[in-house]
Structure 1
C-alpha cells in the first residue's frame, strides 16, 4: 500500500525535525590515497547546523574527511533523534534502535567568506536560543532548568565552533537522498523534493532540553504516569517522554500487559491545538497535568 502525499510530507518533516533538533552526526566518506578513492569507508562524528534546509558540517582540520573529499565528494550522513539522559540507557536496555535519518549526497567545501557567514549563523542561533531559555516563563523555565545531563541544548553544544574557524573546515552537504529509519530498523525512503521543501517546526532547537528536563523531574515523570490513566486508560508504573513536536509527544510507559506483567510500550498524546513554540508546549503540558489530576480526583471521588 503506497503512502499518501500528506503522509510522505509528514515523514519528510520528521526528518527535518530530527536534523534541526540534533547538532552532531556520523559523516561517512570514501577513503582516499595518492592513487585515488578506495572502497573503504571512513567514519567520524562531526558537528553541524541545519541552515537554509541543508546541513552545514564542521570537520576538525586534522580529520581524514578533509583528505577524502578532495578525491571524492560523495558522502553519507547519519543523524539520530536526540535521546538525552536516562532515556538513552532505557532504550539500550530494551535493545530498541534509535530513530534516525540517513542522508546521501556530496560535501562541498566553503570558501573563507561563506565560512564566516556560516559561523555568524551559529552565533545568531546561540544568542537567540539562549535568550529564549533565559526569558522563558515560569512553566518553561521549570521544565528547561530540570535538564541536568550535561549540555543538552543545540546552542550549548555548538558554541565552541565560534571564533575557531582555523580549527575546522566547513562543508555544505547537498542532499540527494534521504532515508528515515524507525525504532524497529525499518527503512522509509523520503522523496528528495519533499525533503527539500519540508520545514522543521519551532520546537527542535529545544527538543533535547525539553525531553531531558521532563525525564529528569520525578514530579513530571509521575505526571506522565497519571496521563496514562487519565487519557489512555492504561495502568502504568513508570513513563518517559520519548519525543516532542508541535502536535504533541510520544512517550514510553511501563504498563500492565496481561496478568501482573508490566511491559514498556510506546504511546502518542496529541494536543487539541498545536504548540507554536517552546513556551506554548510547556504551557500545554502544565495544563494537561492539571486536567489529568482533576480527572483522577473525579474518578476517585475526591474531586
Structure 2
C-alpha cells in the first residue's frame, strides 16, 4: 500500500492541489518610491481564488501592492498546504516546515468587467461548495462536522470577499516558474508547461476540513492507528491525517523505531481505485477502516 511511481502524485499535481486547497498566501512585490526606483521587497498576506488554473488575488484597496505593481509587474506568490488544528503542533515538534510552493511571474490588474467576472466566479464557487457540504451524506458530514478549528473550508474563508463594504483590487497572477518546497526545506523545480496544464483534485477545496475533521475525532485517529498495523505492519501509538487526494492519503504516525522509542514518521496509503470526489473518498476511507479492523480481529482471534 506504500506509494510508488504509479500511485504517487507528480510535483505539478501536488502544487495545484496546494493552490486549490488554500485560500491565502504571501504576495511579494518590489517597493517603488516617489522616483520610481525599485529597492526592497514588500510582502503581505492576501486571499485568492484558483480560477482556470491561475491564482486570482484580492488585494485591499490601501495595500502597498497596488502602488508597487503600477511601476513593476514582477511578483512572487508563496502558498503553504493548510495544516489545521493539532497537525501544526505535531509538525513543529518534528521541526518540519510546512510543505509549500513558490510562484514567480507577473501580476496583472483586472479591469472592471473582468473584476465582475472573477467576483461572480467566486460567488458561484462559494455557493457550490457550501451546497455540497450541506447535501453531503452521513459519512461525509460526520467527518466534516468534526472539524472544530474555526473556518477550515475554502468557501468559508473567501465569502467575506463578497462583502461590498470593503474595496479590493483584483489581479491575475501569471506564473512563469513554480518551485515545490518540501518539509525539509528542499526545493524542487516544476516543469512550467506541466504545472500550467495540470488540474487540481476535486477533493482539494475540502482538504483542510477533511483533514481537521479526521484529526479532531478520537475514533478516526484510532482507526488510522489500526490502518498502520493492518496495512503497513507498523505498531503505531498515535496517528494524524496529513494530506488527502484522489489516489489516497498521507499520514503521520508515531511508530516504534529502534527498540522502545516512538518517532513520528510519514506514510502513504493508496486506494485500489481512485476517489474523484469527497463522497467517494470518505466511503473508501470507511471501507478501509472496517477491513483493517476485521483483519486485526482475525489476527487476534476475536473475529
Identify the TM-score tier after normalising by the shorter chain.
over 0.9
SS in 2 for 1:156: helix
Q: Which residue of 1 aligns with 2:96?
A: 96
1:204-263 superposed Cα distances (whole Å, 9 cap, x missing partner): 010000000000000000000111100000000000000000000000000000111000
Aligned 1:111-150 pairs, distance under 5 A = 111-150=111-150
Is 1:289 matched with 2:289? yes
Contact 2:8 2:247 (8 Å CA) reproduced: no
Q: 1:144-177 CA deviation, whole Å, 9 max, x = no partner?
A: 1110100000000000011438511000001100
- CA RMSD of superposed structures (Å): 1.6
Secondary structure of the equivalent of 1:273?
Answer: coil
Q: How far, CA to CA, are the matches of 1:7 and 1:243 in structure 2?
A: 14
Residue number in structure 2 paired with 1:268: 268
Relative to the length of structure 2, the TM-score reads 0.96
Q: Tell me what 1:197 maps to.
A: 197
Contact conserved, 2:107 with 2:171, CA < 8 A, in 1? yes
User: Which runs of structure 2 are paired with 1:1-303 in the superposition (5 Å)?
Assistant: 10-164=10-164, 167-303=167-303
**1:11 CA displacement:** 1.1
Measure the CA separation in 2 of the matches of 1:236 and 1:166. 49
Pick closer, same or farther for the CA change 1:114–1:60 going to 2, 3 Å: same
Secondary structure, aligned partner of 2:10: helix
Residue ranges of structure 1 left out of the alignment (5+ in a row): none
State how far apart, in whole Å, the 1-side matches of 2:217 and 2:7 are.
Answer: 34
TM-score, scaled to structure 1: 0.96
Residues 147, 212 of structure 1: 8 Å contact kept: yes
CA distance in 1, matches of 2:54, 2:174: 7
Change (3 A) 1:9 1:242: closer
Q: Distance in 2 between matches of 1:297 and 1:178?
A: 47
The 2-side partners of 1:37 and 1:8 are apart by 46
Aligned length: 299
Instruction: Give every structure 1 segment of 4 or more consecutive aligned residues whose post-TM-superposition deviation is greater than 4 Å.
Output: 5-9
- SS class of match (1:291): helix
Runs of at least 5 residues in structure 2 that lack an aligned partner in the other structure: none
CA deviations 1:67-109 (Å, max 9, x no partner) are 1111110000000011001101111121101110000000000
Aligned partner of residue 37 in structure 2, secondary structure: strand
8 Å Cα contact 2:80/2:100 also seen in 1:
yes
Of residues 220-229 and 37-46 in structure 1, the stretch that sits farther from structure 2 once superposed is 37-46
Separation of aligned partners in 1, 2:259 and 2:6:
40
Q: Secondary structure at the match of 1:36?
A: coil
